[in-house]
Amino acid sequence: MGLAIDASCDLPQDFLQQHNIAVMPIAVRVDNATFKDDRNPAEIERFLNLKLGSRSHSAETEPCSVEDVQKLFLEKLVLENDCVFCLTITATRSPIYDHVVKASFAVLKNYRQVREPAGITGPFLMRVLDTRSLFAGSAPCVVEAARLMQANEPPAAIRERLAYIAENSYGYMLPRDLYYLRARAKKKGDRSVGLFSAVLGSTLDIKPLLRGYRGDTSPVGKVRGWEHGCETLFNYAADRVRAGLLVPVMCTAYGGDLSELPKLPGYDKLAQACQECGVTLMQAPMSITGMVNVGEGALTIGFAAEEHDIEF
């Protein structure tokens, strides 16, 4: 069994390599620069080094097309696996889920003419799952899928479990620049961050805490100051770790130099809570796509837990 994700799912490169996870790339164009967003650390570093800053809000992004997904599967994945689970960020924020679903029909129709000449018999299964979250919030589903595959669980059991985890996955984000977020939202026709809110937030240094949950992305709280926001978010994450997670992993992602992430206020308390509770704390760079959509310097965390009340 194999795994494929879209590039917006924020996971560490070593985890992707360890589990041989295929990444469906996203093309990003900013001014005259073009990037292949496939979670390659070198490409992410190239994007950051160019310091495109506020110009990135006008970037054009092209998620993996139906034809590109078909090509990835029919030229590679159907020859390496008998079953592949494709996990994407929420369908309410990206067309990639719909693209993969459409591609699956052609893949399932044509895989035999690829596998049989290679001497591979038997059926091929392709399962597409919407994680219903985004950025680091998609990580728990991917981590759980890898665990279940290593345990040789049958595809039906994996699909059922992942649907449950997706329903209970939380992705939180603290943006650094509201003006950028508003400019990007305006370009995409997204009215979730109004001009008044952006101006007020920047004047008073008030930052929104945004949550991706069950397909909905909306603000769930406000904090004054970037550093206080980091501390608030990490403290909340530490509390969730101690309350118990459905998947023993807390994924953090940062839209900048990853060495800065552990230095953020409150990170040490989250790390301590994870160590005490046997939870793996992951650090991942935010995807290039994520950075052009929400701005560099954004902080995200992702975990899976039972439904609970939140207070910020």
Would you list the DSSP string of 1-47?
A: -EEEEETTS---HHHHHHTT-EEE-EEEEETTEEEEESS-HHHHHHH
* Phi, psi dihedrals of residue 50, rounded to the nearest 5°: -75, -15
Q: How many CB atoms lie within 10 A of CB 258?
A: 19
Tell me: the pLDDT tens digits for 24-71?
999 999 888 899 999 999 999 999 998 886 677 778 899 899 999 999
**Residue 196 pLDDT grade (very low, low, confident, very high; cuts 50, 70, 90):** very low
pLDDT category of residue 296 using cuts at 50, 70 and 90: very high
Instruction: Identify the pLDDT of residue 271.
Output: 98
Residue intervals in the chain for CATH 3.30.1180.10:
169-304
CA distance 178 to 185: 10
pLDDT band at residue 191, thresholds of 50, 70 and 90?
low
Mean pLDDT (whole number) for 295-305: 96
Mean pLDDT of the chain: 92
Cα 302–chain centre separation: 9
Per-residue exposure over 204-235, b if at least 16 CB sit within 10 Å of its own CB, e if not? eeebbbbbbbebebeeebebeebeebbbbbbe
Q: Which helix (H) or strand (E) holds 261?
A: none
Looking at per-residue confidence, does 187 or 5 come out higher? 5
- The dotted CATH code for 169-304 is 3.30.1180.10
Nearest C-alpha neighbor of 149 from the set 14, 308, 295, 4: 4
E strand or H helix at 240: helix 226-243
Nearest-angstrom CA–CA distance, 181 and 97:
24
Sign of CA dihedral 153, 166, 84, 24: negative
In sequence order, what are the beta bridge partners of 171? 212, 302
- The answer to whether residues 133 and 8 touch, using CB atoms and an 8 Å cutoff, is no
pTM beyond 0.85, yes or no: yes
Residues paired with residue 3 on neighbouring β-strands, in sequence order = 85
Token code pair at residue 131: 């994680």
Task: Please give the Cα distance from 211 to 236 (Å, whole number).
Answer: 13
DSSP 56-118: GGG-EEEEPPHHHHHHHIIIIIHHH-SEEEEEES-TTT-THHHHHHHHHHHHHHHTHHHHGGG
Helix axis angle, 226-243 relative to 267-277, nearest 10°?
A: 10
Closest CA to 247 of 127, 130, 135, 148: 148
Model pLDDT for residues 209-241, shown as the tens digit of each residue? 999 999 998 889 889 999 999 999 999 999 999
For 73-128, the pLDDT digits (tens) are 999 999 999 999 999 999 999 999 999 999 999 999 999 999 999 999 999 999 99
CATH 3.40.50.10170 fits 2-167, yes or no: yes
For residue 122, how far is the Cα from the chain centroid?
33
Task: Give the pLDDT confidence score for residue 195 in this predicted structure.
Answer: 46
Rounded CA separation 155/76 (Å): 20
pLDDT per residue as tens digits for the range 266-290: 999 999 999 999 999 999 999 999 9
Reading the block at residue 282, the tokens are: 């992951």
CA distance 180 to 200: 14
Where are the domain boundaries for CATH 3.40.50.10170 in the chain? Answer: 2-167
